[in-house]
Amino acid sequence: MTNSKSIFSTLCAVTLFTTAPFAGARDNVEVVGSSTVYPFSTVVAERYGRASGNATPKIESTGSGGGLKLFCSGVGTNYPDITNSSRRIKLSEFNKCQANGVKDVIEVQIGYDGIVVANSIAAEPMNLSRKDIFLALAAKVPGVEEGVLIENPYNTWREVNSDLPNTKIEVLGPPPTSGTRDAFAELALEGGCKTFEWIAALKKIDKNAYKDICHTIREDGRYIEAGENDNLIIQKLQTNSAALGIFGFSFLDQNADKVQGASIESVPPTFDSIADKSYPVSRPLFFYVKKAHVGVVPGIVGYLNEFTSERAWGEDGYLAEKGMIPLPVKERRAMAVNTRSLVPMTGNEALQ
């Protein structure tokens, strides 16, 4: 009994001891942001850690918006040093950064990512246009009369376009929280949406209404939100050869034996077609660095140098192997010089 009493008091003592206050310094770079850039920045972090023997940067996948929110919250070791983004920083986010004391932000564009619409290799390959995608997936589509929108009436691909197969429209894709979904809406849906002249004209008059029409995806069960896990979409495509799936190019690259990418406007999604921008549904990838942390948190410069080295982001680099599409060589060189000399954004960029 005295035994258990002493155990009890020891437990209490240890508890008090372990809840003692902690110091704030850290010796590893903290990176947050886009889940699309995550697979690339993690490789760089790991290589940098192993080659230099320093602490490996910690990468958190929070989504582009979540990452920029954390990044712009302030300066100091409690806030992340770098944030990844699968879209450019918005003006509102940049202003928030400035307001919170994050004055000097270095912008680094690292390459491109293609978004693919794919189906099982057991099915016929598809050849879609952005207009087909818009008509099949938008919540509201233009009716017979000009200027009138109707609830999306299409149930099969043939109803959308008589050249397409007579299969049910069934598309598995990411949920609204995903950067892939944002980019897909912007590049594929809006691209098709713009082909209707009166909607394109609406952009100048009422931007919000235009965005509403072009970016809203139907919710009657034809578009199925499959969560953020792209492997799951690939599994489901395998069991259902009539369905299409939407995900990043790297997943297509890794699962070429299970799924095939649909050609968009007759351009198949390949490494080269995304790199030369002929494949229409591709987007730039970025990361942003807090200049105030350079020199305070060790390893930021080393990580930047590794990321902007040819062996990482070059045509034959290891990031290309992971499915990232590199920048053209000229832009890449300029970007590397800019990044290594830590040139911050001026605030005069044409941000949206």
Partner 1 sequence: MSKSVDNLAKIKHSLTRRNRAEARFRWYGRIAIFIGLSAVAVLFVDIISKGHGAFQATYINLDVSYNQDIIGIDNLMDSTQLVAGDWQALSKTALRTKFPQVSGRSDKRELNNLLSSGAGFDLKDRLMAKPLLLNETESIWILADDDIDTYYKSWLDGDAYAARLSEKQIGWIDELHQQDLIRLQLNTNLFTRGDSREPEQAGILGAVMGSILTLVLTLLLSFPIGVSAAIYLEEFAPKNKWTDFIEVNINNLAAVPSIIFGLLGLAIFINFFHVPRSVPIVGGLVLTLMILPTIIITSRAAIKSVPPSIREAALGMGASKYQMVLHHVLPLALPGMLTGAIIGMAQALGETAPLLMIGMVAFIVDIPGSFTDPATVLPVQIFLWADSPERAFIEKTSAAIMVLLTFLIIMNTSAVWLRKRLERHW
**Which residue in 91, 209, 256, 337 binds partner 1 (CB under 8 A)?**
256
**d(C-alpha 53, C-alpha 33), whole Å:** 25
Total residues belonging to the chain: 352
Cβ atoms of residues 250 and 43 within 8 Å: no
CB of 192 to partner 1, least distance (A): 27
Neighbour tally for 348: CB within 10 Å: 6
CB of 1 to partner 1, least distance (A): 5
The site string for partner 1 over 95-134 (x = CB under 8 A, - otherwise) reads ----------------------------------------
Q: Contact between 201 and partner 1 (CB under 8 A)?
A: no
CB of 78 to partner 1, least distance (A): 6
Q: Contact between 71 and partner 1 (CB under 8 A)?
A: no
**d(C-alpha 231, C-alpha 132), whole Å:** 25
Q: Is 298 exposed, middle or buried (0-12, 13-18, 19+ CB in 10 A)?
A: middle
Q: Is 60 exposed, middle or buried (0-12, 13-18, 19+ CB in 10 A)?
A: middle
Closer to partner 1 by CB, 14 or 343: give it: 14
The site string for partner 1 over 214-233 (x = CB under 8 A, - otherwise) reads --------------xxxx--
Q: Alpha-carbon Rg of the chain, whole angstroms?
A: 24
Closer to partner 1 by CB, 14 or 224: give it: 14
Stretch that binds partner 1, among 30-38, 91-99, 165-173, 284-292 (CB under 8 A): 30-38
| Token couple for 298 | 């060790």
Closer to partner 1 by CB, 9 or 95: give it: 9
Closer to partner 1 by CB, 196 or 313: give it: 313
**d(C-alpha 189, C-alpha 257), whole Å:** 28
The site string for partner 1 over 299-338 (x = CB under 8 A, - otherwise) reads -----------------x-x--xxx---------------
Stretch that binds partner 1, among 94-102, 203-211, 251-259, 267-275 (CB under 8 A): 251-259
| Window 257-276: residues binding partner 1 (CB under 8 A) | 257
Closer to partner 1 by CB, 16 or 205: give it: 16
**Which residue in 52, 100, 216, 305 binds partner 1 (CB under 8 A)?**
52
How big is the site for partner 1, counted in residues (CB under 8 A)?
A: 54
Closest by alpha carbon to 294, among 111, 62, 108? 108
DSSP 174-232: --TT-HHHHHHIIIIIHHHHTTSHHHHHHHHH-HHHHHHHHHPBP-SSSEEE--S-HHH
End-to-end C-alpha distance for the chain, whole angstroms = 70
Measure the CA dihedral 130/133/136/141, to 10°. Answer: -40
| Token couple for 255 | 């699962």
The site string for partner 1 over 7-26 (x = CB under 8 A, - otherwise) reads -x--xx-xx--xx--xxx-x
Cα-based angle 75, 292, 20 (whole degrees, multiple of 5): 45
Stretch that binds partner 1, among 173-181, 249-257, 271-279, 293-301 (CB under 8 A): 249-257
Q: Would you tell me which residues interact with partner 1 (CB under 8 A)?
A: 1, 4-5, 8, 11-12, 14-15, 18-19, 22-24, 26, 28, 30, 35, 38-39, 42-43, 45-47, 49-53, 55-56, 58-61, 77-78, 228-231, 248, 250-251, 253-257, 316, 318, 321-323
